[in-house]
Amino acid sequence: MARGPRGRRSPDAGPTRPAVRRTPVPRDDGFDGFDGVDGPDEPDEPDTVAGGRGGHRTGRAPPADPGLRTLLRALLDLPPAYRRTLLLYDGLGLDLPETAAETEASTPAAANRLLHAREAVAFRVPELAAVTGPEALSALLRRRIGELALVDPRTVTRLPGPRRVRTGGERRNRVWTRAAVTLTAVIVGATAFTLSTAPTRYIPPVSPGQRIGGVPLNSGPQRQSEEDVELHRKLLNEPAHGPERLVPEFR
């Protein structure tokens, strides 16, 4: 909205519009659950102000052509959903199902928005009101919107066509899908390899060996004590001269 000093509206200004962004309001219009003005659906206020005063920024000037200026005001005054549908269908050349998909609305809802948007713009622009037939109106709207976009070539972004945009989106989707499938296959393969090589039971580790002392060897006789040596010597020296109980008597 263009304002002069002390907030007075200039003669070329359009209808009054809020200076701050409003909170999205729930509404039942097609599949749009919320219809807010934030984001690309809400165009910025015209950058040109009378004399550049009043705290407003200055930028590109409005179209010098009165018809284009009237068309710009009519487009800015449309509801966001209607303006979006009109620009996608008549401005970019999308068909109705694609326009409905881009605006997240049903095809009948998109058709109704397009009809109401055309009617509102044609009511404001006499050049469009004189056209008969929807095809002629769509062609004229596309040409005039293109002229409106080329008013200041420095601010125009050359956008690719709808087929190129859709092809690029589908290509990105395929790339991400293949990447997700590849990552899933890698995870499944790593899991299968881990399950096949992992131990199925607990195997305790072998304790390290250490030297011990004071334990006799397992092979050979035990070491005899002094008593054992003396007894052994006595038995060898007197095998048959011991007590009678040790020597049998034959009768």
pLDDT over 90, % of the chain: 16
- How many domains does the structure of the chain reveal? 1
Domain that residue 131 falls in: 65-153+160-165
Residue 177 has pLDDT above 90, yes or no: yes
Cα angle value 190/195/199 (rounded, 5°): 135
Would you list the DSSP string of 158-220?
-PPPHHHHHHHHHHHHHHHHHHHHHHHHHHHHHHHHHHHHS-SS--PPPPPP----S---SSS
In a domain, 192, yes or no: no
In a domain, 108, yes or no: yes
In a domain, 6, yes or no: no
Residue 9 has pLDDT above 50, yes or no: no
In a domain, 201, yes or no: no
pLDDT tens digits for range 114-147: 899 988 888 888 877 777 788 888 888 888 888 8
In a domain, 139, yes or no: yes
For the question of whether the overall pTM of this predicted structure is more than 0.85, the answer is no
| Structure confidence at residue 44 (pLDDT) | 45
In a domain, 142, yes or no: yes
Residue 180 has pLDDT above 80, yes or no: yes
In a domain, 181, yes or no: no
pLDDT band at 17 (very low <50, low <70, confident <90, very high): very low
Residue 55 has pLDDT above 60, yes or no: no
- Sign of the CA dihedral running 38, 41, 47, 49: negative
Residue 5 has pLDDT above 60, yes or no: no
CATH number for position 132: 1.10.10
In a domain, 72, yes or no: yes
